[in-house]
Amino acid sequence: MRQLFSFPNPVNEVSARLVAAGVVLMSLAALVFQAEWLVVVIALGFIARVLTGPTLSVLGQFVTRVVTPLLPAAAKPVPGPPKRFAQGIGVAFSATSALLLLVFDADLAGWIVLGALALAATLESVFAYCLGCKIFALLMKAGLIPDAVCEACGDIRARTEANLEKKQAAAL
């Protein structure tokens, strides 16, 4: 049995993009309706996903158990550590937004931070461009994140060769 406080590795990118779409929808709803309480819900969801992947996240559970299985798209496994790092950035942005809105009464700043989060989640959900993953890769390249944290991330050649083999097998 998987430990409660663990993060899946690999992660299904299809599910990750759908979770990001859920974050976009919730963020837009919070912005449009000025629903500060929804920003707290968004922050709690990110905290749950950083700690446990989809295990304690209502959005993560809904996506992985209900939405993803209904789609005709094949699973696309990607390394988990960059996705966890991206979720951590989501915690930072959503918690900052919540604090600005609820504690510091800095509404404009809070909504701007939430808007930036919505933009990043849109890039992930629509274009499969994960800003957090890109930052993770830059930090690995700079040696600030050890290769041992994500061996699959450092071995791009193996991933490229594996993808080529999968495409060749599918063509047969």
Encoding tokens for residue 77? 């496994």
Number of domains in the chain: 1
Reported pTM: 0.86
Residue 18 is assigned to a structural domain of this protein = yes
Q: Torsion-angle region of residue 76: left (phi > 0), alpha (psi -120 to 50) or beta?
A: beta
Residue 90 is assigned to a structural domain of this protein = yes
**160 pLDDT above the threshold of 70:** no
Residue 88 is assigned to a structural domain of this protein = yes
The per-residue pLDDT for range 15-54, each reduced to its tens digit, is 999 999 999 999 999 999 999 999 999 999 999 999 999 9
The per-residue pLDDT for range 41-97, each reduced to its tens digit, is 999 999 999 999 999 999 999 999 999 999 999 999 999 999 999 999 999 999 999
The per-residue pLDDT for range 112-156, each reduced to its tens digit, is 999 999 999 999 999 999 999 999 999 999 999 999 999 888 765
Containing structural domain, residue 137: 11-145
